[in-house]
Structure 1
Amino acid sequence: GFWVKAELSPPGVRNPNVWAQDIRDGDPGARLAFRISVKESDGQETFVRYASHKSWQSCCKANTLVDELNGDQLLEIYTRPRRFIDIDHRNTRILAAYPALKSFIGGAFTNDNGVVMSRKRKDI
């Protein structure tokens, strides 16, 4: 079978196989790696690689995923720099309760200063 496993290093420790190649050491996403393997029916691994991606956007997505894995709430995450959130427009309950999240309908990033930037912008 084909397996993808997320690996997290301890807090504050950059994963040597970090997925988001351009991430800053202090970012939570620096802890994240994705291990890809192929296992035979006897459990023996015949192929192991670590996925990687080099972009500012992947850094934002890695930070958000690690925040969520840590149990952080969306209302905390959206205020942080270098994050990506995608709110579905059909999620009317959360949008009514938290109008600030409307900026994230269809996906948006927060820049280094925590300012929301639509994913449609060409300069990100």
Structure 2
Amino acid sequence: NIQQLQGDSNKWLMQLSDDFFDLIIFDEGHHSVAATWEALKAKFPKATIINYSATPMRADGQMMAGKIIYTFPISKAIRSGYVKRLKAVQLNPQTLRYVRRGGTEEIEVSLDEVKRLG
């Protein structure tokens, strides 16, 4: 569980030797290019890393690290009955509404502001 091994002064991470793991499996492996995951991989350089992800490309455009050794297209999963039929719908909001917690004031945010904030 990566959450238990995060942070520079993490007590768990500091207690483990660099060769403690010989295999590390990342679910949601597209996150494996994040700095926190990179730090974990650097701590255990001898470990084999396996990433699993249904979405190998991140929202920021980075691709999941590593070599693809198996892929199962969504179209095949649908044909096989593992996934229900999907319908793509593109949404292009002009505004978003943000409601502050603990209050009743609503702030409408323009699409340009959303893009500026990332």
Which bin holds the TM-score, normalised by the shorter protein? Answer: under 0.3
Higher strand fraction: Structure 1 or Structure 2? 1
Structure 1 or 2, whichever has the larger Rg, is 2
Tell me the TM-score normalized by structure 1.
Answer: 0.19
Q: TM-score, normalised by structure 2?
A: 0.20
